Amino acid sequence: MAKSKPIHVAVGVILNSDGAVFISRRHAHLHQGGKWEFPGGKVEAGETVLAALQRELQEECNIAVEQALPLTVIEHDYGDKRVRLDVWQVTSFSGEVKQREGQEWCWVAKHELDAYPFPAANQAIIDCLTQGQI
């Protein structure tokens, strides 16, 4: 039986002027609920990844992404769901970052990310951050 196509997700890595990273906790009822994540969401049909990132971060985080650079692409199979994370580093934005969808959120120093439980697919992003690649 063929596996379904992975869910394509645009993910933003947002750093503040102190180098801390913006993360939020997934709602309990969602897949991987209760775990922390980097903001983003599904890429819609006919939408570029950058356009999806801009839309999702405006909806979720109250910011207008002005510039972003592709960072990495992660494919992960959770068994019940496959994801393709298209990860971008947000290098310039306007607006004040805040969580608009009722999720718990915080700014975390890169070296403290390991203290937060993330979905397995996010480990490669955390590795990039903690190893100084971002």
Q: What is the pLDDT of residues 89-113, one digit of tens each?
A: 999 999 998 878 888 899 999 999 9
Report the binding-site residues for Mg(2+).
Answer: 40, 60
Phi and psi, residue 75, nearest 5°:
-110, 130
Q: What is the pLDDT of residues 15-24, one digit of tens each?
A: 998 999 999 9
| Residue 34 domain-assigned (yes or no) | yes
Rounded Cα gap, residues 101 and 21, in angstroms? 18
Report the binding-site residues for 8-oxo-dGTP.
Answer: 26, 31, 37-40, 122
Report the binding-site residues.
Answer: 26, 31, 37-40, 60, 122
| Residue 1 domain-assigned (yes or no) | no
The CATH number of residue 58's host domain is: 3.90.79.10
Q: What is the pLDDT of residues 54-94, one digit of tens each?
A: 999 999 899 999 999 999 999 999 998 999 999 999 999 99
The rounded radius of gyration (Å) of the Cα atoms in the chain is 14
Per the structure, how many domains does the chain have?
1
Predicted TM-score of the model (pTM): 0.91
Host domain of residue 90: 7-130
Q: What is the pLDDT of residues 35-60, one digit of tens each?
A: 999 999 999 999 999 999 999 999 98
| Residue 40 domain-assigned (yes or no) | yes
